[in-house]
Amino acid sequence: MMEQKRVTIVVPVYNEGDNIPHFTRAVMEAMTGLPYRYELLFVDDGSRAESCRVLRETERREPHVRAIFLSRNYGHQAALTCGLDHAEGDAVITMDGDMQHPPALLPRLLALWAQGYEVVQTIRETTQGVSAFKRLTSKYYYKFLNLISAVPIQPGGSDFRLMDREVVLAFRRYREHDRFIRGLVGAMGFRQVQVRFVAPERYAGQSKFSLKKMAKFALDGILGNSIVPLRISFYIGVLSLFVSLALLAHVFYEELLGTTVAGWSTLMVCLSFFGGTQLMVLGVLGEYVGRIFREVKGRPLYLIEPEHADEMPDEQGDAAVARHLRPLDFSR
């Protein structure tokens, strides 16, 4: 008899103690009756003690649940990467644990994978209860990102997706620190299909994705997928040069007419214009140089609490794909 294929469901969580039990039950209900062995792999991203306690209790109680505890809060994308590094399934599904990624969609994602699709990407059409400001900024952010990016990024794309094992192994080769996983998955190619859904409101608690984190995530998406900001800086520099030449021509003209008067206001306008332009260009360059600095240091993307790891990795770069806590047991 053919061995059942294995599915790993990766769920990064941060202070989601109120959501974990309900989410676990919902996933188990969705997977019941499907012809797959599965593991629910939580990655705790440095949560408070109470949330960690709930997760440990869930791990002890439910045979399908396994948990990884990071040494501190590294951010959603790093926690998601950790889960993908340790996922052992033939198919790997990533999703959030607050019920805004509906577990009821899991059978549909797996059915499309069974048809031969290597990436099943969900597209969030809207989110119930989200503010008009967030909807508007998200809409135009993706328009701008696709305008400057060489790789199309689907508006409404989320980190709720299924990836075949071959895709996961390819993903593990991408080790940059400023991660925008939606762009990375889109850039890898493979045979992809989309599933649209309406995201419900959170089951419990408040979103941990603050405006500051959202802004950083957006900046990672822009600078990590395009060098157009550098080109824009160059064009602004060229424009400034032409403006300065025009001002110089104006000075010569006034000199010929003999009407030149030392003008404090003109001087201040010129200094402000060119000073501001230079600072803006330097700021864009600084963002790229800062990212280069973070990469050349070669620090790990994340660290796992030693008490939860059988072995700690001591290699970086492409060698990091060999990281594992312990073999996931799909037979239970």
Contacts of 161 (CB under 8 A, 6+ apart): 93, 94, 109, 119, 120, 121, 122, 185
Let me know whether 160 and 109 are in one domain.
Answer: yes
What b/e sequence results for 46-67 when a residue is b if at least 16 CB atoms lie within 10 Å of its CB, and e otherwise? bbeeebbebbeebbeebebbbb
Let me know whether 308 and 265 are in one domain.
Answer: no
Strand order in the sheet with 65-69: 65-69, 36-44, 5-13, 91-94, 157-164, 119-127, 192-199
Question: Which domain covers residue 32, as residue numbers?
Answer: 5-210+299-322
pLDDT of 322 higher than 50: no
Based on the structure, what is the number of domains in the chain? Answer: 2
Q: Are strands 192-199 and 119-127 parallel, antiparallel or unpaired?
A: parallel
Let me know whether 126 and 32 are in one domain.
Answer: yes
Let me know whether 21 and 105 are in one domain.
Answer: yes
pLDDT of 148 higher than 90: no
Do residues 38 and 10 lie in contact, with contact meaning Cβ atoms separated by under 8 Å?
no
Of the pLDDT bands very low, low, confident and very high (cuts 50, 70, 90), residue 253 is low
Let me know whether 185 and 56 are in one domain.
Answer: yes
Q: CA-CA distance, 299 to 315, in Å (whole number)?
A: 10
To the nearest 10°, the Cα dihedral for 110, 112, 118, 124? Answer: -90
Neighbouring-strand partners of residue 195 = 122
Nearest C-alpha neighbor of 27 from the set 65, 57, 53:
65
pTM: 0.68
Instruction: List, for residues 16-59, the tens digit of each pLDDT value.
Output: 888 899 999 999 999 998 999 999 999 999 888 888 999 999 99
Let me know whether 288 and 306 are in one domain.
Answer: no
The more confident residue out of 291 and 43 is 43
Nearest-Å Rg of the Cα atoms of the chain is: 25
| Residue in this structure with the two tokens 């676990």, named with its chain if needed | 24
Q: CA-CA distance, 174 to 194, in Å (whole number)?
A: 23
Return the ∠ at Cα 81 (arms to 78 and 84), rounded to 5°.
160
| Residue in this structure with the two tokens 């403006």, named with its chain if needed | 243
Please state, for a pLDDT cut of 70, what percent of the chain lies above it: 61
Let me know whether 119 and 259 are in one domain.
Answer: no
Do residues 301 and 77 lie in contact, with contact meaning Cβ atoms separated by under 8 Å?
no
Average pLDDT, the chain: 76
Q: Are strands 119-127 and 157-164 parallel, antiparallel or unpaired?
A: antiparallel
Q: CA-CA distance, 265 to 323, in Å (whole number)?
A: 63
Would residue 220 count as lying in a domain?
no
| Residue in this structure with the two tokens 């597209």, named with its chain if needed | 123
Would residue 216 count as lying in a domain?
no
The more confident residue out of 308 and 253 is 253
pLDDT of 230 higher than 80: no
Give residue 184's pLDDT: 81
Would residue 219 count as lying in a domain?
no
Let me know whether 311 and 289 are in one domain.
Answer: no
The CA distances from residue 155 to 99, 132, 140, in Å, are 21, 16, 9
Let me know whether 196 and 69 are in one domain.
Answer: yes
pLDDT of 268 higher than 90: no
Which CATH number covers residue 63? Answer: 3.90.550.10
Tokens representing residue 133 in the block: 């400001």
Would residue 112 count as lying in a domain?
yes
Q: Are strands 157-164 and 91-94 parallel, antiparallel or unpaired?
A: antiparallel
Lowest mean pLDDT across 68-77, 115-124, 154-163, 227-236: 227-236
